[in-house]
Amino acid sequence: MPTDPFSSRDAAVVVAPGHEEGIPLRDQADDKIGALRAVHEPRLFVISGPSGVGKDAVIDRLRPRFPEAYFAVTATTRPRRPGEIDGTHYFFLTEDEFLARRAQDEFLESAVVYGLHYGTPRGPIRQALAHRQDVIVKVDVQGAASIRSLVPEATTIFLAPESMTELLHRLQSRKTDTGDALLRRFATAATELDAAMGFDYVIFNEADRLEQTLDQIAAVVTAERCRVRQHPLIV
């Protein structure tokens, strides 16, 4: 009875029909599969959108979905709010500390948001990418535009509110701003909507539909992870 040339899963050399001299098919093909894995370079995802759209809640709920990703901690000169932890929610810096770090080119981007400094530390992002971790960073709309121009391969996601009424409701209910500050954020949000068309994806964060928002972001992340990209990101 003829032996089945493919019967041994361990055979390093397979004598395939037409290749009776013996070809190390398995090893060759494994090399190709290895090369295919290498075309998946780690990705940088930028999540942005107007103040009050729910970026923080979205990021918090994304963490358990992508435990292997690095969620960038950004720096700010804004005073700490109750419950916020230095190094977890932000790196809280004095203005002098912030400006010194900025002068050392430690930020991938920095912006003044509502009169306070915010910046994305470059070092930890570089390190995460070098460890082949995907990076997820939350910034305002100006920050997203800066990152897009510095790192064109980054994937940018704009979170949009379902309506301005809903956005106002959220800004009022989180009670971090009142009076003029709240109105300022609301007015800025209206202009920030103009930037949405420059993003790769627009995802609506509709009221009481957080799971839907998370599913859509996860779909983008998964699709982007499967894309063929042969060049590492430079940040």
Q: Which of 13, 23, 126, 142 binds ligand 5GP (CB under 6 A)?
A: 142
Q: Is residue 51 within 8 Å of residue 188, measured between CB atoms?
A: yes
Number of residues that bind ligand 5GP (CB under 6 A): 15
- 111 lies in the binding site for ligand 5GP (CB under 6 A): yes
> Which residues within the stretch 25-84 sit at the binding site for ligand 5GP (CB under 6 A)?
51, 55, 74, 78
**In this structure, what token pair is assigned to residue 162?**
């379902």
- 160 lies in the binding site for ligand 5GP (CB under 6 A): no
Q: Is 192 helix (H, G, I), strand (E, B) or coil?
A: helix
Q: Which of 71, 118, 158, 186 binds ligand 5GP (CB under 6 A)?
A: 118
Identity of residue 136:
I
- 145 lies in the binding site for ligand 5GP (CB under 6 A): no
Residue 23 phi/psi, 5-degree rounding, is: -125, 135
User: Which of 127, 122, 134, 121 has the alpha carbon at shortest distance from 45?
Assistant: 134
- 188 lies in the binding site for ligand 5GP (CB under 6 A): no
Q: Which of 46, 62, 128, 139 binds ligand 5GP (CB under 6 A)?
A: 139
Q: Count the Cβ atoms, other than its own, within 10 Å of residue 29.
A: 11
Determine the interface stretch with ligand 5GP among 26-34, 109-117, 154-162, 164-172 (rule: CB under 6 A): 109-117
- 148 lies in the binding site for ligand 5GP (CB under 6 A): no
Q: Is residue 139 within 8 Å of residue 147, measured between CB atoms?
A: yes
Identity of residue 134:
D
- 170 lies in the binding site for ligand 5GP (CB under 6 A): no
